Chain A
Amino acid sequence: MRNIVSERARLIPPSGIRKYFDLCIGMQDVISLGVGEPDYATPWKICEAGIYSIEQGITSYTSNRGYAPLCEALSADLAHRYGLRYSPDAEIIITSGVSEAADIAIRAVVDPGDEVLVIDPGYVSYAPCVTLAGGVPVPLPCRADDRFKITAEGLAERVTERTKAVILNFPNNPTGGVMGRDDYREIADIIVDNDLVLISDEVYSELTYGGTHCSPGTMDDLRERTIVLNGFSKAYAMTGWRIGYLCAPKEICDAALKIHQYVMLCAPVMGQLAALAALREGEEDKDAMVREYRLRRNLFVEGLNRIGLTCHLPEGAFYAFPSVESTGLSDGEFAERLLVEQKVAVVPGSVFGEGGTGHLRCAYAVGREDLSVAIERMGAFIEGLDRR
């Protein structure tokens, strides 16, 4: 029998965290730092808007592009918050989460054989999405020594004649690294000179500590070739609502919209109405959550360094990315044994690409008490290693 499964599907690697997940199942008293989502419930004002939409019988499709008042509010909000200028009826698409936005952005610009530089370590979906689009993902490393930023040298080294696009994600999952305006300035000429498209996933934009988020779409020479992806999941604790969005110049947006309408038709209307409420009334709740993440970050990173796991202070997102090099264990072995011996779940850094090797991704989107207990247990685990 010939291969039933497509070659593209076969090319996609299975999830790198599957075996840790399997180990976790059935274990009691596990503190999980493996979950990449807020531990908060969606703020009640936002939930109310979603519930109310159902009560009112607003349960139908919206236009493919998205619920018009949401697109308009989003356009104004992006201008106010980041200085991004996108037309609500030509340059914005509301998607089913940023995951879908990333997929349609990639498929809108990548042809078979195109190389796409993918930030490494980076979110696990980018490379498979490139593969599914027929493209060739090429890792674009960011290193701890550079505070996990993309450098001009690193980018220039990997651009070839076949390179079509670059996928970046700042603030970054899993490292917590951020890029400022000067950092983008440094790589902008390479992107322009090589006629590349920049796909910028900024879903953690609101979780930027001690600085202002910079969106490369605000830079004149990059705007025409930048696709901004963002969503409501992280900032407003709305992961399950699946509302993201894509902003891009009209030509790219039109292409992405065609794909969106054939595969998704539109994002769920209840979620879109909840997202509109988030923009209108969610600011205070969001600020309170972001403030708490920052407190947790300080507490947790101090704890990691205290027990001997070197960790830079992440400037965004809610992940700490300590090195396990000092323990002599690989990140995979460390994560597995930590789970079995001390019941703390973390994600090995290598799951996020070769650049993550030797690190752990620890999500500090859990309560402060749990974070303290996690640090105690991790400390006990490392002490146990020293004694052996």
Chain B
Amino acid sequence: MDEKDHLILHLLEENSRIPLEDLATMVEIDLDEAKARIKTLEESKIIRKYGAVVDWERAGDGDVTSIIALKVSPERDAGYDKIAERIARFAEVKTLRLVSGRYDFILLVKGRTMQEIARFVSEHIAPMDGIRETTTQFVLKTYKENGTPYDEREASERLPYSF
């Protein structure tokens, strides 16, 4: 990993559909080098996946998103990892993070209804060995996702010419 790899990662994170020729020009390398570097980044799993930031509300999606905080008892030898692996296997869990503070894990969970999420938490997460406490917050509105603000503020108007 060097500075150019970092730049490639930033550019791909910002727009994974960026034309390869443009990427190479911007990073100041030739096309073959760009391909080779991306391949290495993919193979080393630094690039995990290519995706899009989707405004699901705008897409008319009726899904409900919730943020669930968990307090757990870490296991001897495995610490938090083993329980994290179990939680991560559920398809409903979109994001799972170990965090500092009052709670240990923060989960982003998606479901069709609030009841479905409530059922998922009460039937699958809460009864799991080692879970001591859960708290569920439902997302009411998303203003910014993964660095992309959803508001449509117009850019301030600029005169066509200046010195």
Q: Which positions in A face B, CB cutoff 8 Å? A: 17, 20-21, 24-25, 30, 32, 34-37, 39, 41, 123-125, 173, 291, 295-296, 298-299, 302, 345, 347, 368, 372
Most A-side CB within 10 Å, residue of B22, B159, B160, B161: B161
- Could you tell me if B158 and A35 are in contact, using CB atoms closer than 8 angstroms? yes
Closest residue of chain B to A34 (Cβ to Cβ) is B161
In angstroms, Cα B128 to Cα A209, docked, is 55
User: Given A298-B25, A302-B25, does the pair A124, B161 have CB atoms closer than 8 Å?
Assistant: no
Residue in chain A with minimal CB distance to B18 = A368
* Bound CA span A291–B28, Å: 13
Residue of B nearest to A297 (CB): B26
Question: CB-nearest residue of chain B relative to A301?
Answer: B25
Query: Which of B11, B26, B27, B162 is close to A35, meaning CB atoms less than 8 Å apart?
Result: B162
B160 / chain A contacts, CB cutoff of 8 Å: 21, 24-25, 30, 32, 34-35, 345
**Closest A residue, CB atoms, query B21:** A302
Residue on B nearest A174 in the bound complex, by CB = B163
- Starting from the known contacts A21-B161, A32-B160, A295-B7, 12 additional A-B residue pairs (CB-CB under 8 Å) come to A17-B163, A24-B160, A30-B160, A34-B161, A35-B159, A35-B161, A39-B155, A39-B158, A41-B155, A298-B25, A298-B27, A347-B161
**Contact (Cβ within 8 A) A32 B163:** no
Sample (8) of A-B pairs whose CB atoms are under 8 Å apart: A32-B160, A32-B161, A124-B163, A125-B163, A295-B26, A295-B27, A298-B26, A299-B26
CA of A37 to CA of B161, assembled, Å:
10
Measured between beta carbons, the chain B residues less than 8 angstroms from A295 are 7, 11, 26-27
Min C-beta distance of B10 to chain A, whole Å? 8
B137 within 8 A of A: no
Give the distance in Å from the alpha carbon of A236 to the alpha carbon of B28 in the complex: 25
List of 10 A-B pairs having minimum Cβ-Cβ separation, nearest first: A34-B161, A295-B26, A32-B160, A24-B160, A21-B161, A302-B25, A36-B162, A298-B26, A345-B160, A124-B163
Q: Mark B1-29, 1 if CB is under 8 A from A, else 0.
A: 00000010001000000000010011110
Inter-subunit contact B28/A298 (CB<8 Å): yes
Chain A CB within 8 A of B156 CB: yes
Which chain B residue lies CB-closest to A294? B26
Q: A295-B26, A298-B25 are in contact. Are A41 and B156 (CB under 8 A)?
A: yes
Contact with A along B21-56 (1 / 0, CB 8 A): 010011110000000000000000000000000000
- Measured in the bound complex, the distance between the Cα atoms of B159 and A256 in whole Å is 32
Find out whether the CB atom of B28 lies under 8 angstroms from the CB atom of A32: no
A20 touches B22 (CB 8 A): no
Please measure, in the bound complex, the distance between the C-alpha atom of A125 and the C-alpha atom of B26, giving whole angstroms. Answer: 33
Report whether A21 and B28 are in contact in the complex, using a CB–CB cutoff of 8 Å: no
Instruction: Name the A residues within 8 Å of B159 (CB-CB).
Output: 21, 35
> With a CB–CB cut-off of 8 A, which chain B residues contact A124?
163
A36 CA to B161 CA, complexed, in Å: 8
Q: What's the nearest-Cβ distance from chain A to residue B159, in Å?
A: 7
A346: nearest chain-B partner, CB-CB: B161
* Cα A291 to Cα B22 with chains together (Å): 15
* Given A39-B155, A41-B156, A299-B161 contact (CB < 8 Å): no
Instruction: Give Cα A231 to B10, complex, Å.
Output: 29
A345 and B161 alpha carbons, distance in the complex (Å): 8
Contact between B26 and A37, CB atoms less than 8 A apart: no
- CB of A349 to closest CB in B, whole Å: 13
- Minimum CB–CB distance from B18 to chain A (whole Å) comes to 9
